[in-house]
Structure 1
């Protein structure tokens, strides 16, 4: 592993607030405060190394300090996907302006963008670790697995651990606190990743619905987790998981409906959100709650 850190920059288009992204609270991320640095530790998309990245915002750019080996441009592209810095924020603002509810949400947090999983591989592991347990328990399991079998980085005065690479995951026969029947599921994820079945580029060439069905071939992965793996790990900005109950609840409250919208009604309402239906759904849940409190 490289002992020297490297720097690179991601240029931003449109309003962006790294603090909003860092404090969103998604998957294993559960920060309660922000000191100006978003700390990321992950397996690269190439699945050949782990890296730690310090992300800082300076005006209309994100400055990255990268610890570990791997193609720097590819790592920057992966970070951009994770923090939703890979799309046009001005275009997103225009979409919000065309919908009165989204306009209120965007006004409350102009720089908010979704925080995503590091990769489909890591999202699938999270699905296996967190299924049928509280989110906090899942976070604890992931941290123990990463620190014991992954890679630990010192990032801006704090240690952060990345998950094991697929080969490292295949070598495990037990994880403290994880039921024994989950180990074969983790091994299946590792083999699928090594076979290229969880590549972001592969899913990008598929229709999201088709990709979600494809992911459900993994043991223990149903519709809910397949949506997280495909939509929220690949960073697709315009996919609408109509079965997401939290989205329906947010739409009911913010659009002042007297009922929970069914799939067809949610789809119809979301037409005005194109081409940012994912961002809209996440914003309604994450930021919309501030308008209701």
Structure 2
């Protein structure tokens, strides 16, 4: 295993992240009593899988401890797509030189930081509370919670396609089944995790329970887009948000709502106000004491959200979590 350290800038609680994931249906995450986060996911390189255990150091109250992660990378290997994930746990393959190992380590570190929103300077986030009582209340209810993102824009896009026009719980079951049948099975500290299929593995799937032919074709297109670099997180975040969203809407099966999901929760953009999420708008209107008409006035809501810059995505996540009763402070 390789170890990396992430140092939060501003408030951060790994325990809050774990509680959020336990209530976030797409994650299908089952935590442990010790608040250690165990994840398995396709690496950003598109051709390997990462298994990681994440812990946070204890510090004096009010300070965010360092985040310690130990991970193993498993390169893709030829496998029967029907039985992948059912055999014995894979062994990491030897071979890379020192420079390659360093590059791989930094890539995994950057991806994990993005997943946990630790690649963003959050030192200014608490300052929003002074100017906005609603935000102050959210921070009190969800101390240290930052957005926990999808493992990649690629996986967020796949979720959007899988979940189109079906219940979220049904989509989560389909996604989990794809991981078990076509992704990597790994063991992390004695626990079994299944990673979502890498783009090449997803491209090889010709049929799967719960997926129509149209959805499979769209998933193939997403796999190809990921291989072509069109779903690269750094690229999406460095592009002006409106242009990035327009490019994402060009992908098959990706509409305005899904494009925002990919940019905000896949690429981890910290400062985008979701304009196509009625449930968030309703939660926001309720929090600010607005009527139903105001809840449909996206321009007005966006004006209120301007107070949250440069953390509009973060505050939106807290509103969404409160509305769904996910991961809050235990009464």
Per-residue deviation, residues 163-207 of structure 1 (Å, max 9, x unmatched): 222122221111122112211111101111111111112212211
Distance change >3 Å, CA 287–CA 19, structure 1 → 2: farther
Q: In structure 1, which of residues 131, 136, 142 is the aligned counterpart of residue 164 of structure 2?
A: 131
Q: In structure 2, which of residues 316, 319, 325 is the aligned counterpart of residue 284 of structure 1?
A: 319
Residue 61 of structure 2 corresponds to residue 26 of structure 1: no
C-alpha distance in 2, partners of 1:206/1:227? Answer: 14
Per-residue deviation, residues 5-37 of structure 1 (Å, max 9, x unmatched): 111111112221112112223362144654211
Residue 42 of structure 2 corresponds to residue 43 of structure 1: yes
Aligned to 2:301: 266
Aligned to 2:204: 171
Aligned to 2:123: 90
**Would you identify which runs of 4 or more consecutive aligned residues in structure 1 move more than 3 Å?**
30-34, 287-291
Per-residue deviation, residues 37-76 of structure 1 (Å, max 9, x unmatched): 1121111111121111111111311110102247111111
Within a 5 Å distance, the mapping from 1:29-108 to structure 2 comes to 29-31=27-29, 33-35=31-33, 36-59=35-58, 60-69=65-74, 71-108=104-141
Q: In structure 2, which of residues 225, 229, 246 is the aligned counterpart of residue 192 of structure 1?
A: 225
Q: Report which of the two structures shows the higher radius of gyration computed on alpha carbons.
A: 2
C-alpha distance in 2, partners of 1:68/1:233? Answer: 21
Using the size of structure 1 for normalisation, the TM-score is 0.92
Q: CA RMSD in A?
A: 1.9
C-alpha distance in 2, partners of 1:30/1:286? Answer: 16
Consecutive unaligned residues in structure 1, runs of 5 or more? none
C-alpha distance in 2, partners of 1:90/1:271? Answer: 18
Consecutive unaligned residues in structure 2, runs of 5 or more? 59-64, 75-100
Deviation at 1:277, TM superposition (A): 0.5
Per-residue deviation, residues 125-175 of structure 1 (Å, max 9, x unmatched): 111111111112111111111121111111233211112221222211111
Per-residue deviation, residues 216-241 of structure 1 (Å, max 9, x unmatched): 11211111111111121111111011
Residue 160 of structure 2 corresponds to residue 110 of structure 1: no
